[in-house]
Structure 1
Amino acid sequence: MTLNPDSPLHEVLANRAARAVVQNYLPGIVNSPMLPQLKDLPVGQVLGMNATLSSNENELAKLWQLLGALPREDHRQMPQTRHAAPANDYEPESVARGSAALSHAVDVGCWDILEVTMDGPALGNPFTDVELTAVFVHADADGRAEQPVGGFYDGGGTYKVRFMPDRQGEWTFTTRSNARSLDGLKGAFRCSAPTPVNHGPVRVADRFHFAHADGTRYSPIGTTAYAWTHQPQSVQERTLEALAGSPFNKIRMCVFPKSYLFNTNEPDLFAFERSGDDWDFTRFNPEFFRQLELRIGQLAELGIEADLILFHAYDRWGFSDMGAAADDLFVSYLVRRLSAYRNVWWSVANEYDLLRAKSVEDWERIAGVVTANDPSGHLLSIHNCFGFYDYNRPWITHASVQRIDVYRTAENTDAWREAWGKPVVIDECAYEGDIDQGWGNITGEEMVRRFWEGAVRGGYVGHGETYLNEAEELWWSKGGSLVGDSPARIGFLAEILRQAPGGVLDPLPGDWDAPRGGVPGVQELIYFGFNRPSYRTIFLPPGKACTVDVIDTWNMTVERLDGQRSGIFRVELPARQYMAIRLDMVDGPIS
């Protein structure tokens, strides 16, 4: 029996060829977050939801003809066989060990990239046939273990190893490889002091927060532009210009291109070479990765962390379901290329629960591939759509959360901190914009309110924009230009955070109608959100005094009230929404 308009959508999507046909016609519907609700409906009914397609009888007839020619078989699962281990006889014994030409810098700054380049063999498929590792040792090891770093093939007979030294002084390294010419090469270099702007990779600090490796406080003020590196070069350049003038110091971005609403263009570069009409998942396209590396390096120059999403469901090319062997090969290759970049974070998946071909066991395995190939130990998480991943898993450094309630999201931050014992980053709280989807049409005021709610509860909320325009160039997906009202106000919040003791806020016991955050006995922030009181009565413990700032989070003003306050006192407010009060405790006698 052939596929037809009455076939259930899930049956059509389970057939790889049929899924490609449907995705070509309506990528927005088949990749919709509503897919779980649509999957049991007849495919004809689902496609009929699109007025343009349903009114075009010729296109519909063509679609049904294409589907009807396909057998009713499940081709969704790719082969799960593992690649054979690289053979020890890749090069003949006539090739001298360690004979490949080698080059590298002799001095590199701490937390910068040492790139070791080797000219080696190009026999067979070097991406899978050659294994290369360099073992780095500091001159004053002090019992520290050797640091093995995986290398990669960069095409054209060139192999590379990238290492991010985290300690000043003299280093040496030795290569190991099944390719004789690449085995036993040696080198030495000096790691000098970092530049003033290089504070090293971001780590978890104080359990619920972040800091760079040198101890400099880092508070993620994030945004999302999923597919910005898959756009024309002019759009990518405008994205960098917009970021340079923004408050954002983190950006969520996909490694693979995206196929979804307002994002149907075909990128210029792909991660893999083609074999006929299909991708060859065993052969990478180095030019694709060089372009990605260029943009990551430019983000580093702007002081912006690149939160890289390895897998996602919004895919019409087959990258979301390559099979375990191809997944692991891709992840190990990507991580080996990028782990020496200090501004990289790993997100194993965006909305992992929409990738239905993968199980929790698959995600655990993929996370293991990341950690095994990342000697720098970058931050690592996974992002949900409907249900949370188990953020208590030991490999997860922080929770990367999407709202699971239309209204209440940032208000859960303190509870999530308590449940997981890790930093909470609400990477998707909805987007400021005006599209027809509820996740993409909140106001700038509501976006800023969610940022403040998350901040006073000890977490970090992320931004995005989905304002419709004729070019369908929405920041949340393609980047380009920031046009919303929230970025400037988010920058104001970032400055308030920098002024907090230690640069962080933790949740404090609050009033029933207003959360509080800060440092006990040092500073408290009271946030009123969409409430608009005309005054607030404050109670301080006996013997305590404070200065009082009235903060208008939307108009970005701070008004310091005269004198110090103690005991029970009243703070006059303008009866406007989005106000806050900051109490800074003072030492010495009460004035």
Structure 2
Amino acid sequence: MPFTKNALLRDILADPAASRVLELHIPGFATWNDWSLAPLATLDEVSHWARGVGEQSPDLNALWQDMADVESSPAVVSADRAPMPAIWGDREAGGHERASAQVPAIPSEQWGVAEVALAGPSTGNPFTEIELEATFRSGSDAVRVGGFYDGEGTYRIRFMPPHAGTWQFVVKSNSDELNGAVGSVEATAPAGGNHGPVGIRGTFHFAYADGTPYLPFGTTAYAWTNQSTELQEKTLRTLAESPFTKIRMGVFPKSYSYNTNEPESFAFERHPDGSWDFSRFNPAFFRNLEQRIEGLRALGIEADLILFHPYDRWGFSAMPAWADDLYLRYIVRRLGAARNVWWSLANEYDFMNTKNEQDWERFASIVGQEDHVGHLLSIHNGASFYDYSRPWVTHCSVQRTDNYLSAENTDTWRERWGKPVLVDEVGYEGDVAEGWGNLSPQELVRRCWEGAVRGGYVTHGETYLDADDVIWWAKGGSLKGESPERIGFLRRLVAEAPSARWDPLPGDWDSRTGGDQDHRVIYLGIGRPRFRSVLVPPGDSWHVDVIDTWNMTITTLPEPVEGRVIVHLPGREYMAIRVRRATSTTN
């Protein structure tokens, strides 16, 4: 089949002959940093993009002719032509013999992971031919949990007990070896540090299951679990010294600027011809992912797990629908009992032209069906917002859609969707060529403060150039920037509010005020006043603090104040004034 104007860039770059033609007419194009922005762009779109400002080359007629003379290689089967396997042909388990397996009592704790491990069939394709699930019961409570095949004849069912006590379970399967296995989980009270999974607190904020407030001051390292073991370990050591409580991370590897290395392991096995067998998972890949998520849990960090993304040269963003669904059920069943997991259906969903709204809604339904815990679930936008009012969306995972207005829209987005707002891509501290990745540390910290006083949460990222392309935002490793420490300072200040949250409050036209009724913060941003007249709420006395958000200092006025007070300032940017209720004078 010849390459036409509608051939995908991904397919052209994967074909040696077509790549040579592209290189002939657009020299160096395959090494441009930005070609991976649109791997699913057509040759027609690419050729017009490559002309540049005022340029009229390449000679498009010659390009079309040379591409038409290339015959694409049949070595790799395209995902949309891969055959659909028979999946769980008999899911009812009716007529099957009941297994005699009595599983020994499994110890766990509330909000821990209770794992049922069973030996079963290893012939054929257990990933698609064997289905199993268990129902766990404690009193009137019943929880259905799906199981998965972990290779070498081992099947697992992972259950998070929502409360302490004895949970009896029975396994249901279309395999005689697994069907009817019974046992119990003995769940004790949660140990210290186990607060349960994170959920929504009120309307716009977060808390753990035991009610402890949770503040999502996060970072981004998209492909850190697809790097070498050494680099993954280094990333965890860095996170242990950081202020971050959440990390945005992908399941699949990423093909993008500064991120072109080949992973050591993949989620799927391969056919003999080298193409992917989407019906067979690679358990070792998922065990590594589980190990890293467990490492994050030990650090008190939530794993905001991105299930799909468009930056892909391997075909994982364009799998057939049956493979998408099989993958989702598998990963949710494997990871759904981990209390520090969040689900993000996609990073920049609207850049994935292989999916449509019906796909995303189907994916959300599958995650909802298979996630017995009910973890947080969202989807991240590129240029166009998703409808975050959809009932399955627990919070808004937002990328700013304007180069200059970023976190300044946080309060507007809160009002629009009535849900917590995480500005998960506000731009990154760094010095790369692209505009999304060369913010100064001062500007990133300013955006974090803007989002905070407007009642939301802004996610950090770092993109400093590195000789080995080990950039934090892509691969993890080490942090080089100046913003993390100052984001930690901001996190501490939010936690000091009596309600452990900041909401937007009425303020002056040239500043933003956030906090609660006992604890108010006036953020001056890029203003540099030498003094400020502040009117504190009447009837009470208030402590007044001058906060230097960059130098991380707090200077408190000697005495509490009432009424109006003149607050003297150093005439520098990035200052804030905090007023804290001292005593009530009306009682």
TM-score (norm 2): 0.91
In the alignment, structure 1 residue 32 sits paired with structure 2 residue 37: yes
Determine the structure 2 residue equivalent to 1:580. 576
Contact 1:258 1:315 in 2 (8 A): yes
1:18 Cα shift? 2.6
Change (3 A) 1:512 1:285: same
CA 1:344–1:541 in 2, change beyond 3 Å: closer, same or farther? closer
Aligned length: 565
Distance change in 2, residues 1:272/1:525 (3 Å) = same
Summarize the Cα distance change of 1:279–1:99 in structure 2 as closer, same or farther, 3 Å threshold: farther
Q: Contact 2:199–2:375 at 8 Å: present in 1 too?
A: yes
The Cα shift of 1:128 comes to 0.5
Deviations, residues 527-578 of structure 1 (Å, cap 9, x unaligned): 0111111111012344232110000000001111011112222100000111
Matched letter for residue 12 of structure 1 = A
Q: Distance in 2 between matches of 1:196 and 1:164?
A: 17
Which of 504, 507, 525 is the matching residue for 1:529? Answer: 525
Q: Name 2:25's counterpart in structure 1.
A: none
Q: CA 1:126–1:247 in 2, change beyond 3 Å: closer, same or farther?
A: same
Amino acid at match of 1:97: R
Counterpart position of 2:397: 400
Alignment of 1:494-509 (within 5 A): 494-509=491-506
Match in the other structure for 2:26: none
Residue in structure 1 matched with residue 8 of structure 2 by the alignment: 13
Match of 1:325, SS state, is: helix
Aligned counterpart for 1:224 among listed residues 220, 225, 230 = 220
The 5-angstrom pairing of residues 281-430 of structure 1 reads 281-430=278-427
Q: Is the 8 A contact 1:18 1:67 kept in 2?
A: no
| Structure 1 position 90, deviation (Å) | 12
In the TM superposition, what whole-angstrom CA distance separates every residue of 1:76-131 from its partner, at most 9, and x where no partner exists? Answer: 771598654523499998x952145x656532111110010000011311101111
Q: Is the partner of 1:551 in helix, strand or coil? A: strand
Give the Cα–Cα distance (whole angstroms) in 2 for the partners of residues 344 and 67 of structure 1. Answer: 49
Contact 1:27 1:260 in 2 (8 A): no
- Distance in 2, Cα, partners of 1:413 & 1:151: 40
Q: 1:116 maps to which residue?
A: 116
**Separation (CA, whole Å) in 2 of partners of 1:365 and 1:510:** 43
The residue identity in structure 2 corresponding to 1:209 is H
Residues 430-477 of structure 1 deviation map (CA, whole Å, 9 limit, x = unaligned): 000000000000010011101110001110000000000111110000
Please state if 1:70 is matched with 2:72: yes
Residue number among 551, 556, 562 corresponding to 1:560 in the alignment: 556
**For the structure 1 residues 572 and 90, does the alpha-carbon distance in structure 2 shift closer, same or farther, using more than 3 Å as the test?**
closer
Return the alpha-carbon distance in structure 1 between the equivalents of residues 78 and 436 of structure 2.
29
CA pair 330-545 structure 1, distance change in 2 beyond 3 A: same
Counterpart contact for 1:77–1:357, Cα < 8 Å = no
Question: AA paired with 2:159?
Answer: F
In structure 1, how many angstroms separate the alpha carbons of the residues matched to 2:561 and 2:91? 80
Residue-by-residue CA offset, 1:347-377 (whole Å, 9 max, x unaligned): 0000000000110110000111111100000
Describe the SS at the equivalent of 1:565. Answer: coil
Q: Secondary structure of 1:336's partner?
A: helix
Aligned partner of 1:148: which letter? R
User: Structure 2 CA distance, aligned partners of 1:394 and 1:456?
Assistant: 27
Separation (CA, whole Å) in 2 of partners of 1:346 and 1:541: 42
- Distance in 1 separating the partners of 2:91 and 2:469: 53
Question: Which residue identity is paired with 1:484?
Answer: G
| Cross-structure match for 2:134 | 134
Deviation, 1:482, is 0.4
Deviation for aligned residue 1:219: 0.5
User: Once the two structures are superposed, what CA deviation does each residue of 1:221-267 show, in whole Å capped at 9, x if it has no partner?
Assistant: 10000000011111111100100000001000000000000000000
For residues 105 and 245 of structure 2, the distance between their equivalents in structure 1, rounded to whole angstroms, comes to 29
Structure 2 unaligned segments of length 5 or more: list them: 23-28
In the alignment, the residues of structure 2 paired with residue 277 and residue 67 of structure 1 have an alpha-carbon distance, to the nearest angstrom, of 25
Shift of 1:45: 5.5
State the shift of 1:67 in Å.
7.8
**Does structure 1 retain, via aligned residues, the 8 Å contact 2:7–2:42?**
no
Cα 1:103–1:68 change in 2 (3 A) is same
The answer to whether the 8 Å contact 1:260/1:314 transfers is yes
CA contact (8 A) 2:135 2:144 kept: yes
- 2:480 matches 1:479: no
Q: How does 1:194-233 map to 2 (within 5 A)?
A: 194-233=190-229
Task: Indicate the residue corresponding to 2:276 in structure 1.
Answer: 279
Task: Give the aligned partner of residue 262 of structure 1.
Answer: 258
**Residues in 2 aligned to 1:192 and 1:386: alpha-carbon distance in whole angstroms:** 47
The farther-off stretch of 21-30 and 511-520 is 21-30
Q: Secondary structure at the match of 2:11?
A: helix
Residues 46-57 of structure 1 aligned to structure 2 (within 5 Å): 46=49
Letter in 1 for 2:107: D
- Once the two structures are superposed, residues 462-516 of structure 1 have per-residue CA deviations (whole angstroms, 9 ceiling, x without a partner) of 0000000111110000000001000000010011011011210000012111010
CA distance change for structure 1 residues 465 and 64 in 2, over 3 Å: closer, same or farther?
farther
String of CA shifts for 1:128-158, please: whole Å, max 9, x gaps. 11110000001x32xx3x2110000001110
Q: CA deviation at 1:409?
A: 1.1
Write the deviation string for residues 17-71 of structure 1: whole angstroms up to 9, x where unpaired.
33534699448433217x89x868564465677xxxx99xxxx99x967982239
Cα distance change of structure 1 residues 313 and 534 upon mapping to structure 2, 3 Å threshold: same
In the alignment, structure 1 segments of 5+ residues that lack a partner are: none
Give the Cα–Cα distance (whole angstroms) in 1 for the partners of residues 68 and 226 of structure 2. 29
Distance 1:398 1:433 in 2: 28
**What pairs up with 1:540-551 in 2 under 5 angstroms?**
540-551=536-547
Secondary structure of 2:177's aligned partner: helix
The 8 Å contact of residues 539 and 584 in structure 2, kept in 1 or not, is answered as: no
Alpha-carbon contact 2:7-2:43 (below 8 Å) kept: no
| CA distance 1:104–1:382, shift in 2 (3 Å) | farther
Q: What RMSD over aligned residues (CA atoms) do the two structures have, in Å? A: 2.9
Q: After superposition, give the CA deviation of every residue in 1:300-335 in whole Å (9 maximum; x if it has no partner).
A: 000000000000000000000101100000000000
Deviation at 1:337, TM superposition (A): 0.1
CA distance in structure 2 between the aligned counterparts of 1:64 and 1:118, rounded to whole angstroms:
57
Deviations along 1:396-425, one digit per CA (max 9) or x if unpaired, are 000000010111111111111011010000
- Paired residue for 1:489? 486
The amino acid of 2:360's aligned partner reads W
Find the aligned partners of 1:377 and 1:89 in 2 and give their Cα distance.
Answer: 24
Taking the TM superposition and a 5 Å limit, the aligned residue runs for 1:442-461 are: 442-461=439-458
Is 1:97 the equivalent of 2:101?
A: no
Q: Is the 8 A contact 2:93 2:173 kept in 1?
A: no
Check the 8 A contact 1:134/1:161 in 2, yes or no: yes
Q: 1:419 to 1:105 in 2, by over 3 A?
A: same
Whole-Å Cα distance in 1 between the matches of residues 11 and 310 of structure 2?
Answer: 17
Secondary structure of 2:118's partner? strand
Determine the C-alpha separation between the residues in 2 that align with 1:294 and 1:519.
Answer: 39
Structure 2: distance between partners of 1:365 and 1:42: 30
